[in-house]
Amino acid sequence: MLYNCPYCHHQHATIYRSNQKLSNSEPRDIYRCSECSSLYPYPRMDELDIENYMAIHKSDDLQFDANLNEPTRYEEFLCTLLKSHMEVTGNALDIGAFTGRFCRILNAIGFDAYGLEPQSNACAFARTNGLKVFEGYFPEKLPSFLLKNKYKVISMMEIIYYLVDLKKSLLLVKSMLDSEGFLLIKCHQGKSRYYNNPDNSCFKRYGDYVQAIPLHSSINYCLQDAGFNVVYLEPMPRLFSKLDGILGKRFGSAVCKKFERIFNRWRNRFITDIESADRLIVLAQKKEEE
């Protein structure tokens, strides 16, 4: 077990919430780092603890959607975000790829996508469907050929919470990116309205092996400190799939998407406090070497 901040590596912290229930109802405290503001369990699992946990809780019920032509609206949004900041070409790496769905999306828009996933059955499942997803843990256990590549974009979709050494992980991501590469993060955060409900344990969504529960402020701090420029950090947009289905036939999908953009700008400005938003989308670019 570990007792320090996953990013700053020290124990200068204050208690944030006490007696948060694990899946077995055992209580554990959550601390907030005095430097980077990350929330973390005290104690938290180390690499061996996580490997054992994953072996017990691995997913056997795997599903694969073979239709490449129908990405979800959220996947369309992420693709549009990437296209607006970079040329969609070259290598991409999805860390925590599971069965490779986001790798398929990255391939479809022009990248040559690789995936890294700790669950062997998920990796095998992805590869039988033609995807380059390989077994390993980030940052400690990566196939050597993945380290030799340079990537235009590296994505962490709901996975940043589980990096045992967050600083080492972000520094390794930076070294694996090309000179103008990007890191894409999708995550939910610890001060969301969901966790404002005292009945919702901090482990309820993240699981018992969570390492650093991100906040808007901690994401900003860690990325900047690790050598990234944050170019986009916003609440995950509200996308009206049903509205598109109902009105799209009459007014066209473009009109519905324009309404979504206007609604989300209005929501972010007047309703949603980014510190309490449920989920965040983050795009950060590797800083130029000085």
DSSP string computed for 99-168: TSHHHHHHHHHT-EEEEEES-HHHHHHHHHTT-EEEE-BTTTB--HHHHHS-EEEEEEES-GGG-SSHHH
Angle of the 253-270 helix axis to the 241-251 helix axis, nearest 10: 140
Does 8 reside within a domain?
A: no
Question: How confident is the prediction for the chain on average, in pLDDT?
Answer: 87
**Overall number of domains in the chain:** 1
What are 8-53's pLDDT values in tens digits? 999 999 999 999 999 999 999 999 999 999 999 999 999 889 888 8
Q: What would the two tokens of residue 238 be? A: 């509200």
Residue written as tokens 């529960």?
A: 213
Q: Which residue has the higher pLDDT, 279 or 93?
A: 93
How many CA atoms lie less than 13 Å away from 270 in the CB half-sphere?
6
Decide if 235 contacts 186 (C-beta within 8 A). Answer: no
Q: How confident is the model at residue 247 (pLDDT cuts 50, 70, 90)?
A: very low
Does 260 reside within a domain?
A: yes
The CATH number assigned to the domain holding 248 equals: 3.40.50.150
What are 193-232's pLDDT values in tens digits? 888 888 999 999 999 999 999 999 999 999 999 999 999 9
With a cut of 60, say whether residue 145 has pLDDT above it: yes
With a cut of 70, say whether residue 250 has pLDDT above it: no
Does 4 reside within a domain?
A: no
Q: What would the two tokens of residue 103 be? A: 């790798």
Task: Give the torsion through C-alpha atoms of 65, 67, 73, 77, to 10 deg.
Answer: 100
Does 3 reside within a domain?
A: no
Question: How large is the average pLDDT for residues 82-95?
Answer: 96
Q: How confident is the model at residue 256 (pLDDT cuts 50, 70, 90)?
A: low
Question: How large is the average pLDDT for residues 115-143?
Answer: 92
Residue written as tokens 């610890």?
A: 190
With a cut of 70, say whether residue 124 has pLDDT above it: yes
Does 6 reside within a domain?
A: no
With a cut of 50, say whether residue 134 has pLDDT above it: yes
Does 45 reside within a domain?
A: yes
Using CA atoms, how far residue 39 sits from 6, 18, 23, 31, 210, in Å, is 9, 12, 18, 6, 10
Least confidently predicted of 62-71, 74-83, 163-172, 225-234: 62-71
Determine the Cα–Cα distance for residues 26 and 35; give it in Å rounded to an integer: 28
**Strand pairing report for 91-95 and 151-157:** parallel
Does 232 reside within a domain?
A: yes
Does 5 reside within a domain?
A: no
With a cut of 90, say whether residue 104 has pLDDT above it: yes
Determine the Cα–Cα distance for residues 75 and 98; give it in Å rounded to an integer: 16
Name the residue range of residue 143's domain: 13-286
- Residue 249: the pLDDT is 47
